[in-house]
Each structure stands twice: as C-alpha cells, then as structure tokens.
Structure 1
Amino acid sequence: MMKKGVLSIMVILGLSMLLVACSQSASGEEKFNAGTYEGVSTGHGGEVIATVTLTKDEIASIDIAAEGETESIGEGASAQVIASIINSQSLAVDAVSGATTSSEAIIEAVTLALEEAGADIDALKDPANKIEVATEQQEDLDVDVVVIGSGGAGMAAAVEAKAAGKSVVILEKMPILGGNTNRATGGMNAAETSVQADLGIEDSKTIFYEDTMSGGKEINNPDLVQTLVDHASESVDWINGLGADLSDVVIFGGQSVPRTHRPADGSPVGPVVVEVLSNKLKKEEVQILLETTAVKLLEEDGEIKGVEATDKQNHSFTVLAKSVVLATGGFGANSEMVVEYNENFEGFSTTNHKGALGSGIKMAEAVGADLTDIAEIQAHPTTDPETGYMFTEAVRGDGGILINQEGQRFIDELETRDVVSKAILEKSGSVAFLVANDAMREKNASLAKYIEHGYGVEGDTFEDLAKAMHVDAKTLTQTMKQYASYVANGSDEAYGRDNLAEAFEEGKYYAIPVTPSVHHTMGGLRIDTKARVLNKDGAPIKGLYAAGEVTGGIHGANRLGGNAIADILTFGRIAGMTAASEIE
C-alpha cells in the first residue's frame, strides 16, 4: 500500500512557444481564467484530489493527491494521465490499461477543477482539438540482462541482476508496473521464519514441503518445491529488508501451520511487494520501458542473444543481451489458450489482468523450450460473480465461512482451492456467500475495503442478514449458532475445519456473493532449480531463464494460497542471480 500521507505527482508543462500559440483560441480570447483550482472525485480506494494550475492559455500543471490508491497503480496512472492531458491540452485522453478506475477518477477530478475555472469542457473533450505530440522511436539497446515482464518475479530478477553489477533493462507491455502481482491479496508462504518465531508459531520446512506437494496432488517437481521451501524464508527477510513489513502470519487452505506472511494491517500483499521493488529499481536506476512488447527471442546457434520488441508507437527495435529472463506471467486472461489446454474452464471469468496472455510461453516454445503441467489450471473459489474481482483467502483464514443459497455451510472453508471451488460450483447457481463480521473487518483491511465498496450485504442480526441474502432466516440462524458451538467446543463436527477463529457471536454481519474464476495457470515452461529454461531434451537453453507464473512444475495440480508470492520472489531472485552469474 501507499506510504502514509498522500501520493503527490507534479508534472510541469514543457512545450515550446509554438505549442502555446497553437493552444490559444482562434479568436485570440483567453482560454482559461488563470489561477489554481481543485476538483475531487472517487477512485478505487478513496478520494482523488486534482489541483490544476492554469495560465490564460494553457493547462500548466496538475498535482494529484490519492491517498487510497495503490502506489504502483495510482502513481503510474497519475503520471501517464497527467502527461497526456498536459501534452495534448485536452480531456480527450484514454484511461491507463490496468488502472482504469484510478485513471477515470483522475480525469474526472481534473475535469471538475477545470469546470471550477469556467473552462469550455465540451471543447476540451473534443478529440479534434487535441494537440498531437510526436514521440521518439526507441533506439536499439545492448545490455547484460533483459527482463521481460515487471511483476514480482521480473522486478526481483532485475534487482538481483543489478546487484551483481550487470546492466539491466525491463520490458513491460502494460502501461504500469506490477502485472498480476498488483492483484495479489493474501500473503507469502514461508517456514522457519524470524516472523513466525516472534509470533510463537512452530513450523518447519519439512511440513511446508509436504503441504505443497500434497496440495499439488504430488505431481509437483520435488526439486523445485524443495528449492522453494529452502529459500522462501530468505525471501521474506529480503522483501522485509526492502521495507515490506510482512509481520503478520495467518493460515490459508491446505496449510498444517500458519505460514502466510502479510502486512500487519491485513492489507493486500501484492501492492506492497510492487511498491518496495519498484522503489528499489528506481534507486538503482534500472531502465524500465513501459508499453513495450517483446515479440520474439533472438537465437543464434542454439543460444539466446536478446529480444525483438516494439515500442509505444509500435516501432520495432532490438535488445541485444547476454541473458534473457522471462517473467511474463501465465495465460489466465487468454480464454482461448485456457480452453485449448483445459476445456473444463470454458466460459469462466478470470481474476487476471488483461496482459496475462501467455506470450512468454509462446516465445520460448518457438526456440525449443519444453512445457510441463500445462493443463493444470486453478480456479480461485471466492471471486465476484459479475466481475471476477478476487476476495482474498485471508478472509477465510481470519475466520470467514461459506454459506450456500439455502443458508447452510457445505465445506471446510480451508480446504484447498480446487476442492472449495468444486463444492461451490455444485451449489445452486454456482454461487455461495462468504460470511464475516465486524471483528474480522477490524483486523483485515482487505475485507474492510470489500464492504466499503459495496460487494456484499449486511445485517445487525442473523435474521437481518438472511433477509438481505434472500435465504431462509431460520436456517441461517440455526447454521450460525451451530457453528458457534463448534468454535466453543474446538471441534467442527460437520466438516472438520481445524482453524476455528471466529464464533460470530457479535455483529454486524456481512455476506459477499462468490463464485470461482480462473486464477492461476500452474503449468508453463520447464525450468531447473537455477531457473534455467530447459529444452525438450532436458538441457538448458543457453542464455534463457524464467521465473513466476510463466513456469510450471512448482505448484503441481493445485497451487496453495500464499505460494505464488513465495514463488515469484524466490525464483525471481534465483533467475536474476543465475542470469548474471552465467554471463561469460
């Protein structure tokens, strides 16, 4: 999340006198009432305040304060939207892909400020009045390491490669950093950590290994799993050392022991990871090219020599590199590819951002890379039935329970994601309710936001909640009281849930409709424990490395919640270190 305070971004207009002259009205009249004006709108996480300074002829500067917006999304959207408005002297600008809500809030706030100034809003929204600003074509580059993708795996790889003294560039096709990591909500799994020790939690890497293999139906690559569990605790220390403060630990489905490390206030882990890594990359002055698409890998005599890419204006250029790290994510947003590999997911929505299209897998296949577990695709059980927006597993870890449309429990809520998803899909309408209360809301910042943003219904009593849910009040009340008795006795006699964190003896109560959506593609490129991409003969492809959801083998047939962040940071770091160390 953002640091306490406000996100404030100032972009100053630096156009020539010719541009200024073009911005004046044909009649020579002043376009604006010179001065500074303010507009306020609502973004994804709260108020967005735009402070706009005008001369008589132009929009001179825009300052955005957006305390509630995730920094990786809010800041990226602000910088790009502001630059678009100022450079074009127009409100006919596009929202930033991947940050649509934040972008639209910024545009609205600026519009309201301009209305306060008495500006001609219709003219400013007319595309015909935009000033077209030419952009320079990206030149060819020659670096030690090129990282394709700027999610947690890609950024971790870039940080480590830079720390090894190598020149690094990141190519990111989206307009903002972070990829799917921006959407990661729960936490990061690791065993035998200093955080667990401070909290009195006894865990072991052996149990972590066994839980991960069991969750993956024992088809995981044992060597990759062992590498994950051996080094995840180091990754927790590493990311906390960069400022993440993952100091709370909760239990997720499929875990024998609480080992999911999350921010102290229960806020989503992904934005925190993206923020601290992006800050580190800025400090180290690592070059990052946004809206830049890798098209194909450059190969010569069986060795990867770089990548061909296109810039923002679709101009082609090349990046020559001694090592290439693929961190392009999975293919959860590519419905055709999902169905190609597993037809059971036809018609599913997805929790993935729109850039998760499997491009890295296709590029690597074209140079002979092998795939593994490619048909293994996971649904997240608790997503919004209309939009696919994901509700963190931490709500269940904090005590949340699942209720069907008849007002009854039907599953151990902390079963693995595949089991819970299957159970929900078997219920009426393939929809259930995730039920929580105020006690949980106070300790889980993510849950508080879901409620604030109107994703569920509420009631002061079970009867009130049942009415809002449109379920039988008597049945729901009986279900909740029965569950309270299980909590009191320390034994879930109905479904065997071990973690009984909340008895629901006090309201207010909340119920969020949920259904499964495509969430994680466990299969991908076959790698070894050094994150080297392997060909179909099992040999490393020289110069090619991969980490994160673009790879397969770590999670088997089902990923445990919290293992994704552990994966992307641990193997991202390994990929960066190996890519740097194997440069001749």
Structure 2
Amino acid sequence: MSGLSTPSALLQASPAIVVGSGLAGLSAASQLIFHHVPVVMLDRAPKPGGNSIKASSGINGAPTRFQPCDTEDTAFYTDTVVSAGRPLSSSTSTERLRREQLIATLTQSSPSAVYWLTDDNAIDLSKVAQLGGHSHPRTHRGAGKKPPGSAIITTLLDSLTRDPLFELRTQAKVTKVLREADEVTGVEYKSPGTDPNATTRLSGPVVFATGGFAGDAQGMMMRYRPDLAGLPSTNDAREGSQPLLEQVGAAVVDMDQVQVHPTGFVDPADPAAPVKFLAAEALRGEGGILLLEDGKRFANELGNREQVTNALMKAASRLETPTRQWEVTLLLDEGAATALAAHLEFYVWKGLMRKTTVGELGKTGCQTVCQTVQEYADAAAGRTEDAFGRKAFGNWSLGDVQSDSVVYVGKVTPVTHFTMGGVVFNEYSQVLDQSGGVIRGLWAAGEVTGGLHGQNRLGGSSLLECVVFGRIAGNAAAAFHQKHYKTVP
C-alpha cells in the first residue's frame, strides 16, 4: 500500500469509498469530509489527479461575477443542449427528460461550483475566455502560472491530506464492486507487492469517479469505436472501468460517442508519439487560428470540437506515420500569447510551440500566410466579417500584418480526448440499472458516467461536471453513510 496520507484510527469506522482521485473524486471526498464521514480514496495510478490535473482550458460557470456580463439567462443550457445533438434529440421522452435534467443541474449549479472553488478553496479563476461551441465567454481559469486543472487538484488534495478522516491509497486497482441483494456494500482491490491473486476487501458506500476510456485503445475503444483505432490520444493507456459497474447491474449509454479533440500537439522531437499533450482550447479561444500547409484557414476555430475536427480531417493531408494523424499550424499573435502567458511559457519550454514571424512561415515569403492573417486581423478589428463566421476573437491584437510581425506557432493533430458514454446516472449522481432503478449504495461522477454530453462535450464542462456531480455524490453518500454505517463522533 502506498499513499500521501497516514491511515488514521478514525478510519476504522466503516469509511465511504471513493474510487478515483481526479476532480470528481476529490469533490466527492471533500463533501464527505465536510459531513465528518471518513473517506478511503483508491486510485490505480502511482500518483493522484487523474486526467483532471492536466486540464488546461478551465471550468465553465454562468453567470458569475468574473464574466464580462451577467445576462446569459439560459444560454449555457441552450448551448449544451445544442452540443448534445442526436443522442438527446432522438431519445425517448423518458430518456430525454433524464438528459435534460442532467444538463439543467450542470448549468444551473455552475455558479456555485465556481464559487466553491474560488471562495471556499481560495483558487483563482478570475480570467474568463470563450471556447468553441459557446455563445458567451464562460470558461474560467486563473491569472497565475498554474493551469486550472493543476491549481484545482493540488489545492483540494492538499486540503484533504491534512484531514485525519481522509486516506489516499495509490496503486490500488479495484477489481470488483461488491453487491448484496439490492445494495453495493464495498469493493475489492489489488495492491503492488502482494500476492497477484490476493485482494483486499473494503466495506462502505461507494462513489465511482474513475474517468473514461479514451486511453483504452485495445480494449473498450476497440470494442465501441474501432474506426478510431490508431489515432493518438491525450489519455494514458489504461483500462476503462465501466465494466466493473456493469457487473453489479449498472446500465451504460452513449458508449460509441467519443470526442476527438482537434488540437493535440505534434512534438517535433517525437512526431508519432501515441500520447500527446493537449493544445488547450483556450489557445483558440484567446484568438488563435489554424492554418493548412498552404497558409490558408479552413474553419471557424470556435466551432464545437466535432465540427473543427471534421473540417480539419477533410481539409488537411494525412501524414505517413504509424499513428493516424494530420498536421496543421496553430498560430497566435502577441495579444493572444500574452493572455495565455503561463500556457505559452510551458509549451515553448516543452518545444511544442515556438516564436517566429509571419514571413518565416511562408514558403515564398509572406504571401498567402500574410494575406490569411491580415484577413483574420481585419475581422478581429471589426473592419470586415470573418469568412468562416467567427464572432469572438479573444485577445488578438495584431492589426497591420507585416512579414516581420511576431507570432507563436505549433503543429497540431486530432486526438482522442474524451468519452461521452458511461454508466447511466441521474441528477442525484445515483447509478441506474437497466430498468431505470437506483442501485443503492453506489454513486458516480465525472467521465465514468454517460448521457450528460451526448454527441459532443463543450470545452470547460468536464471540470464543471466533476465538481457539480462529485459534490452531489459526496453529499448523498454522506447521508447514506450516516444512516446505515457507524460514524465518527
């Protein structure tokens, strides 16, 4: 057993079990601790944080005091419904109601989710950008050097590990969810250094927050989306955990709905690497554009992720590499770069982006690239309408484009990034079975769940769903624990 906190005698009272140490798990654990319920958190990885710690664009919230205006009304809900697409619009009336309730809970709870992080946990989320598929700026991040995922995860984890009611066990792989009659009663897990056939049993109500299966290339991805085989991913290779919940009766939905993010960095030092750093959507939100090899744009960079990805795959040439990838140039001017100084500093340090001039990008001087960037600059300045219908230009400031105009560039390609499918759950974070019944003693939050995002997830809503439904799960599990288990005085 390994971990970041020392086991406490207080935990001998039956704990609540949180599986997964990303933002959904940490949010659930925080609420359980708030209600004085002991928590054992299990994570199969050597280090905590999951994919949440890598999140780089931010967390959605609307309306909040950090936004330029507070006149959104139902726009966030509407944008999310539109983004959900066919799985929502073609569902039965009962299923549509469940999905709409999930979306309503997500969007209506978004201000309190942001304020829980900023006011209760002192995390800076004062900068707001507009990402693809959004009608307003509503994606929050901090003004400091830490990306939002890292800032949020490290703060919550530090707080939890100081509490004697909390214990983190890393390298603890859950192999079975325990169910007796109609109730989940705990889990079994394996730890390194023990008999490979031996498992440890832990009893208590369970919150599952284990993430998706975008990195499970030879397993669940091959089963549900074999057409995406060979694409690089932003996710490390690891098994999906939905089958563990299916074994205790959980239903699954939307398993074929996989989000391919249009911009994963192509590292010049290892172009065919199967796992790639995400080029944060905020890079486009703050003004960045995408250019083909001939120096031309091909899409509204702030369309939703599915739209931009499809346009990129259609317009760009596929490379001859072991991985299925394309290659286009992501370009930012100095205004956009300044707004994303912390991101740029990291990307440049990693060799994923570089500082150059517009003229150096053209094969024969400025020509096409200069013309393309000038046309975009004119639209950003309000002198013309953008040819691709883009309406938001972030902090783009370059007006008069010259051959020596400074820009920042990097190569990007589509990558599998997020799985919208998962176990069926409701607005109370309860896991449902095939008949729509609640599985007692079991809750789920984050990417392990399905039905919220439908066909496409809006950027910034992943961290949001982790906080909203993680906290709901934590509160519900605490109430269940206090009623059915021995509690700490």
Same fold (TM over 0.5): yes
- Residue of structure 2 equivalent to 1:488: 381
Q: Give 1:581 shift.
A: 1.2
After TM superposition, give the deviation of residue 480 of structure 1 in Å: 1.2
SS of alignment partner, residue 446 of structure 2: coil
Indicate whether 1:327 and 2:224 are aligned.
no
Q: 2:178 aligns with which of 285, 290, 298?
A: 298
Q: Give 2:360's aligned residue.
A: 464
Secondary structure in structure 2 of the residue aligned to 1:308: strand
For 1:279, the equivalent position in structure 2 comes to: 158
1:525–1:551: 8 Å Cα contact kept in structure 2? yes
Match of 2:371 in 1: 478
DSSP-derived class of the 2:82 partner: helix
* Shift in CA distance, 452/490, structure 1 to aligned 2, threshold 3 Å: farther
What residue number does 2:440 align with?
A: 542
User: Percent of aligned positions with the same letter in both sequences?
Assistant: 34
The higher radius of gyration belongs to 1
TM-superposed CA distance for 1:257, in Å, is: 0.6
Residues 11-57 of structure 1: CA distance to partner in whole angstroms, max 9, x if unpaired?
A: xxxxxxxxxxxxxxxxxxxxxxxxxxxxxxxxxxxxxxxxxxxxxxx
513 and 248 in structure 1: CA distance in 2 versus 1, 3 angstrom threshold: same
| 1:448 paired to 2:345 | yes
Give the corresponding residue for 1:242. Answer: 121
User: How far apart, in 2, do the equivalents of 1:473 and 1:310 lie?
Assistant: 59
> Which amino acid is the alignment partner of residue 313 of structure 1?
G
Match of 2:214, SS state, is coil
> What is the total number of aligned residue pairs between the two structures?
440
Contact 1:441 1:448 in 2 (8 A): no
Matches within 5 A, 1:151-190: 151-190=22-61
AA aligned opposite 2:437 = A
Structure 2 CA distance, aligned partners of 1:329 and 1:572? 12
CA contact (8 A) 1:142 1:320 kept: no
- Aligned partner of 1:115 in structure 2 is none
Q: Runs of 5+ in structure 2 lacking a partner?
A: 89-98, 319-325, 484-489
Matches within 5 A, 1:10-29: none
Structure 1 segments of 4+ aligned residues over 6 angstroms from their partners: none
Residue aligning to 2:190: 310
- CA distance, structure 1, for counterparts of residue 212 and residue 117 of structure 2: 23
Range moving further from structure 2, 236-245 or 487-496: 487-496
- More relative contact order, 1 or 2 (CA 8 Å, 6+ apart): 2
Q: Aligned with 2:302: secondary structure? A: coil
Q: 1:166 and 1:218 mapped to 2: Cα distance?
A: 41
Equivalent residues in 2 for 1:131-530, closer than 5 Å: 143-196=14-67, 200-217=68-85, 219-220=87-88, 221-240=99-118, 241-265=120-144, 267-285=146-164, 286-314=166-194, 315-321=198-204, 323-336=205-218, 337-355=220-238, 357-359=239-241, 361-385=242-266, 386=271, 387=273, 388-426=276-314, 427-429=316-318, 430-444=326-340, 445-460=342-357, 462-467=358-363, 473-489=366-382, 491-501=384-394, 502-505=396-399, 507-530=405-428
SS for the counterpart of 2:447 is coil
Aligned match of 2:474: 576
Q: TM-score, normalised by structure 2?
A: 0.86
Distance in 1 (alpha carbons) for counterparts of 2:439 and 2:477: 12
Q: CA deviation at 1:279?
A: 1.4
Is the Cα–Cα contact under 8 Å of residues 157 and 576 in structure 1 kept in the other structure? yes
- Alignment check: 8 A CA contact 1:530 1:575 kept: yes
Equivalent position amino acid for 1:442 in 2? T
In 2 relative to 1, CA 401–193 (structure 1 residues): closer, same or farther, beyond 3 Å?
A: same
Partner deviation per Cα, 1:319-373 (whole Å, 9 max, x = no partner): 011x100001000110121121122211111101334x212x1110001100011
Q: Say whether the 8 Å CA contact 2:334–2:398 is kept in structure 1.
A: no
Given the two structures, how large is their TM-score scaled by the length of structure 1?
Answer: 0.72
Distance in 2 between residues matched to 1:141 and 1:176, nearest whole Å: 24
1:488: Cα distance to partner? 2.5
Q: CA separation in 2, counterparts of 1:500 and 1:230?
A: 27
1:164, 1:250 → 2: CA distance? 34
Q: SS in structure 2 opposite 1:156? A: helix
Which residues of structure 1 form unaligned runs of 5+? Answer: 1-75, 81-135
- Which amino acid is the alignment partner of residue 338 of structure 1? M
Q: How many angstroms does 1:418 deviate by?
A: 0.6
Amino acid of the structure 1 residue aligned with 2:293:
Q
Please identify, of 335-344 and 393-402, the stretch whose mean Cα deviation from structure 2 is larger: 335-344
Letter in 2 for 1:320: S
- Contact kept in structure 2, 1:334 and 1:358, CA below 8 Å: yes
The one-character-per-residue Cα deviations of 1:100-119 (angstroms, maximum 9, x if unpaired) are xxxxxxxxxxxxxxxxxxxx
Q: CA RMSD in A?
A: 2.1
Which residue in 2 is equivalent to 1:94? none
In structure 2, the residue matched to 1:84 is: none
Question: How many Å apart are 1:295 and its aligned residue?
Answer: 0.8
- What residue number does 1:20 align with? none
Letter aligned with residue 566 of structure 1: L
